[in-house]
Structure 1
Amino acid sequence: MPVAAQVLRHAASRPGRLALAGPSGELSYGALARRAERLAAALAPLPAGAATPLAVIRATDPVDQLTAVLAVDLLGGTPLLCDPAREAPPEIPAALTVDAVPARLPDAAFTGRPARPGDLAWACLSSGSTGRPRAVVRTRGSWTGSFEPFSELTGITADDVVLVPGPLISSLYGFAAVHALAAGATALVPGRWSPGALAGQLARATAVHLVPHRLPELLAARPAASPLRVAAVGGAALAEGLRERAGIRVVSYYGATELSFVAADADGTGLRPFPGVEIDVRVKPGRDLGTVWARSPWLAEGYAAGASGPLLRDGDGWMSVGDLAEPYRPGESLRLRGRGDGAIQTGGATVVPEDVEEVLRAVPGVGDIVVIGSPHPDLGSVVTAIVEAAGAPPPRSALEAVARGGLDLAQRPRRWYAVQELPRTATGKPARALVAARLADGDPALRRLS
């Protein structure tokens, strides 16, 4: 993670400034820098010979995770945060594994080697909502160069306290914590979403960086005296009207682990290219939607160990992960329509699941929803909706009434299910492939609505 140099500078200029606050304690910038330098000395040297010296970090505490990230960065390695409850995918070549940060470290300090923009300095597991996790590798410059424009968009500075309310193994939350450290701000890193702790966290936080489906609950938990002033929201589209109801500034953005930032909406007028990004929506003849391609300094280098994935390249520096959008011209807003690999072919029509989900989320009682295609002998697939409802799900009649009012005939679900809680990826997105697999396996937790 390319922030060790910034942390050392903050430690020299503001050593007493609080850097991290997590479940097991807090560290000032001075203490964080010393701990990272000592851990680096204990880990040194990295095994030689690896083209990409990946260091798998499986520590459980988020403060320890970030300490290890900084230590590996000082060593010139490429940190990869992994879920400590799971083994890292065996095809990912690890030069080093850090399972924990010792409570006591030697007094020796490793201050690091000169950092170069082209260093491979960050990796993150990504599988989107489908597929086997793979490690996306990035250069130092592709991260550090995006910090300044992101700070300008959000207004986050060294004086902020940034709440990062999710697991750092996700690229979104990992970036949020690292950006806060690079800026010299305080990062609140609970390591997981905890509704009961939100009020206390929001009594301190001036900024928050999170996924869209968490924002309503966070806003509802905000105490009256909260200093919160800005929310950075990345991932799926915001629910209609949420920005206006928030009472704080909301900056939303679109990107992907492989592409980093692509477009941002700082004022509610629509997604515009993130600074330094060119966007091209390539529409095939006879199609209404096209594939989003991006070209920028923020793009990833690719997947570790030559793994395959959705990342596409052309010969002119453009990349895509298959996301769909309406035709786009420079100066217009980017109108996203979902992931191309999730499109449902039903009776000759193509249905974009996100279009259906956006309409049905408005039904009272729907916490979230996933729309997939279920096999059908004549139609190929039928649109199937799985509703997340903590209590009693809304009646099917209410769901169908909203579907009739807001969806074309081909888009309307033919099968309806309810579940108390949808499975999610590390970034908080519904795990669409896992939902489909559970449905195919006849999981009794998915209840058919009749």
Structure 2
Amino acid sequence: MELLGGAGPDQAAAVRIGDRVLSRGELLHWASAVAAEIQGAPAVAVHATASAETVAAVLGGLLAGVPVVPLPPDSGPAERAHILGDSGARLLLAARGAYEPGEEDPPLVPVDALPRDGALAHAEPSPDATALILYTSGTTGPPKGVLISRAAIAAGLDALAEAWAWTAADTVVHGLPLFHVHGLVLGVLGPLRVGSPLVHTVRPHPEAYAAAGGSLYFGVPTVWSRIAADPAAAGALRGARLLVSGSAPLPVPVFERLEARSGHRPIERYGMTETLITVSTRADGERRPGHVGLPLPGVETRLAAEDGAPVAHDGETPGELHVRAPMMFGGYLGRPDATAAAFTPDGWFRTGDIAVIGPDGWHRVVGRASTDLIKSGGYRIGAGEVENALLAHPAVREAAVVGTPHADLGEQVTAYVVADGAGADELIAFVAATLSAHKRPREVRLVESLPRNAMGKVVKSRLG
């Protein structure tokens, strides 16, 4: 995968993160030094802060053909230990002073201490080689490692470049985390592949987006909600070419406010860690509020009922969305049973999302097949992982976690807990100390008991 395909002169600015600017030549030489340092490792973890060190480390892994495991910087000790242990990462790349290694962590490679003059000669790895191992939460148990190949990344980015008319003439702006598909694959590897400069605002604050002066902006619905609520920031984006929203459904009122204040009808798209982006509206096409558009080139979709029967594409009947695509993942690391279960017998990936497809092919995602995957502020949070964290507290006897409506985040993590002598604030802090900060419950409701069916399973639809 030619990561710098379409790149301009070596001295042209490639990446600006906050106040730091790297030219294409500087970034490539620095990444090459990283590649020389990690060559031959089975996998490396990257402390994925919003920094130039993260970009150089990820690119270095890709140049070396070493799978990169982005490590969320806010991950708690239990989550971090699981990711490092499960992935088999033998080195951990971070800036000096930015990461406090634990006793069981792999050796630390200080990325900012490496030279910036690495040799540029690297053998091109196989397209089928794993480029990234991204950890994603399911509905139960700890996060699973999703294997993303170089070929999948190339196919996904090329399809988006075609759909969005994305070229080296664009300047991409976002302030998203660099350990997910949205911020890392689309937001960093996309500009490097297309050749467009990247401005990363460190945090996705409305005033930072307004000051960036870009043409192609990425954000999650929470970001666009905040910008739509800030007339000055929204007005400053009138000169942009495209505003793109993803990672969770964009509420129709936010779409409409954003259009009224910025002059843009935002692009919406749909994808998962396992599939990258598979459905999107187009730069030269219609943009319908509440819809994610049409399948990208090479992507096939269908709807299935609970019994597997086909569901009509009539614009009204919902079904589980199934996908076949060249940007599909290579399986869950060390989880052959989970990988097999994720596909139908005839080879379609079960997304777990419920969608409606119209006669004209337009897709609208209406919810989850399960109630246990929460989309909050662009994050996908597994309820089971939060429940397990709560149940580790000695005072907690029972716990059930659901997503409840939140005006800014879309959904918030809400926990119903049966506990002896523990208060809500104590339990929220307990989870925040164990898991990533965005996974902590924003509300804990202490109850006498949880509703259960005859089989003893909690009936979450009766919580409230």
SS in 2 for 1:111: coil
Letter matched to residue 209 of structure 2: L
RMSD between superposed Cα atoms in Å: 4.0
Measured after TM superposition, the shift of residue 157 of structure 1 is 1.3
Separation in structure 2 between the aligned mates of residue 389 and residue 206 of structure 1, nearest angstrom: 25
SS in 2 for 1:94: coil
Partner of 2:204: 193
Separation in structure 2 between the aligned mates of residue 142 and residue 281 of structure 1, nearest angstrom: 23
Cα separation, partners in 2 of 1:184 and 1:308, compared to 1, 3 Å: same
After superposition, where does 1:263-302 map in structure 2 within 5 Å? 263-266=279-282, 267-269=286-288, 270=291, 271-284=293-306, 289-302=318-331
Partner of 2:387: none
Deviates more, 1:249-258 or 1:125-134: 125-134
Cα separation, partners in 2 of 1:382 and 1:40, compared to 1, 3 Å: closer
SS in 1 for 2:87: coil
Partner of 1:260: 276
After superposition, where does 1:25-36 map in structure 2 within 5 Å? 25-36=20-31
After superposition, where does 1:1-16 map in structure 2 within 5 Å? 5-7=2-4, 10=7, 13-16=8-11
Separation in structure 2 between the aligned mates of residue 70 and residue 166 of structure 1, nearest angstrom: 18
After superposition, where does 1:103-252 map in structure 2 within 5 Å? 103-105=113-115, 107-109=117-119, 111-127=121-137, 132-175=142-185, 176-201=187-212, 204-219=213-228, 220=230, 221-222=232-233, 224=235, 226=237, 227-245=239-257, 246=259, 247-252=263-268
Separation in structure 2 between the aligned mates of residue 437 and residue 244 of structure 1, nearest angstrom: 29
Q: Deviations over 1:10-31 (max 9, x none)?
A: 2xx5112211111351101111
Measured after TM superposition, the shift of residue 60 of structure 1 is 3.2
Gapped regions of structure 1 (runs ≥ 5) = 48-52, 344-351, 358-369, 373-380, 391-416, 443-449
Gapped regions of structure 2 (runs ≥ 5) = 95-109, 312-316, 384-399, 410-423, 449-463
Partner of 2:45: 56
Measured after TM superposition, the shift of residue 8 of structure 1 is 7.4
Cα separation, partners in 2 of 1:240 and 1:224, compared to 1, 3 Å: closer
SS in 2 for 1:112: coil
Separation in structure 2 between the aligned mates of residue 299 and residue 184 of structure 1, nearest angstrom: 24
Separation in structure 1 between the aligned mates of residue 205 and residue 402 of structure 2, nearest angstrom: 33
SS in 1 for 2:4: helix
Partner of 1:46: 40
2:93 maps to 1:98:
yes
Separation in structure 2 between the aligned mates of residue 8 and residue 263 of structure 1, nearest angstrom: 24
Cα separation, partners in 2 of 1:94 and 1:330, compared to 1, 3 Å: farther
Separation in structure 2 between the aligned mates of residue 130 and residue 251 of structure 1, nearest angstrom: 32
Q: Could you tell me whether the CA contact under 8 Å between 1:19 and 1:187 is conserved in 2?
A: yes
Partner of 1:438: 444
Separation in structure 2 between the aligned mates of residue 84 and residue 383 of structure 1, nearest angstrom: 25
Separation in structure 2 between the aligned mates of residue 244 and residue 199 of structure 1, nearest angstrom: 19
Cα separation, partners in 2 of 1:107 and 1:273, compared to 1, 3 Å: closer
Q: Deviations over 1:371-409 (max 9, x none)?
A: x9xxxxxxxx9999454579xxxxxxxxxxxxxxxxxxx
Letter matched to residue 199 of structure 2: L
Measured after TM superposition, the shift of residue 440 of structure 1 is 5.2
Separation in structure 2 between the aligned mates of residue 181 and residue 429 of structure 1, nearest angstrom: 30
SS in 2 for 1:279: strand
Separation in structure 2 between the aligned mates of residue 107 and residue 243 of structure 1, nearest angstrom: 46
2:366 maps to 1:337:
yes
Separation in structure 1 between the aligned mates of residue 163 and residue 437 of structure 2, nearest angstrom: 24
Identity %: 23
Deviates more, 1:148-157 or 1:128-137: 128-137
Q: Deviations over 1:381-440 (max 9, x none)?
A: 9999454579xxxxxxxxxxxxxxxxxxxxxxxxxx9xxx9x99xxx9985xx5498335
By relative contact order (CA 8 Å, sep 6+), the higher-ranking structure is 2
Separation in structure 2 between the aligned mates of residue 120 and residue 84 of structure 1, nearest angstrom: 22
Q: Could you tell me whether the CA contact under 8 Å between 2:50 and 2:178 is conserved in 1?
A: no
Separation in structure 1 between the aligned mates of residue 188 and residue 403 of structure 2, nearest angstrom: 37
Q: Could you tell me whether the CA contact under 8 Å between 2:303 and 2:322 is conserved in 1?
A: yes
Separation in structure 2 between the aligned mates of residue 152 and residue 222 of structure 1, nearest angstrom: 28
Measured after TM superposition, the shift of residue 278 of structure 1 is 0.9
Separation in structure 2 between the aligned mates of residue 309 and residue 255 of structure 1, nearest angstrom: 19
Measured after TM superposition, the shift of residue 96 of structure 1 is 2.7
Separation in structure 1 between the aligned mates of residue 155 and residue 438 of structure 2, nearest angstrom: 30
Letter matched to residue 18 of structure 2: P
Measured after TM superposition, the shift of residue 123 of structure 1 is 2.1
2:311 maps to 1:317:
no
Measured after TM superposition, the shift of residue 71 of structure 1 is 0.7
SS in 2 for 1:304: coil
Cα separation, partners in 2 of 1:208 and 1:353, compared to 1, 3 Å: closer
Cα separation, partners in 2 of 1:440 and 1:24, compared to 1, 3 Å: farther
Separation in structure 2 between the aligned mates of residue 123 and residue 68 of structure 1, nearest angstrom: 14
Cα separation, partners in 2 of 1:85 and 1:239, compared to 1, 3 Å: closer
Separation in structure 2 between the aligned mates of residue 297 and residue 330 of structure 1, nearest angstrom: 24
Q: Could you tell me whether the CA contact under 8 Å between 1:74 and 1:110 is conserved in 2?
A: no
Q: Deviations over 1:316-348 (max 9, x none)?
A: 32111311124x4764322322111117xxxxx
TM-score (normalised: structure 2): 0.68
Measured after TM superposition, the shift of residue 111 of structure 1 is 2.6
TM-score (normalised: structure 1): 0.70
Measured after TM superposition, the shift of residue 45 of structure 1 is 2.6
Cα separation, partners in 2 of 1:290 and 1:320, compared to 1, 3 Å: same
Q: Could you tell me whether the CA contact under 8 Å between 2:30 and 2:118 is conserved in 1?
A: no
Separation in structure 2 between the aligned mates of residue 256 and residue 263 of structure 1, nearest angstrom: 10
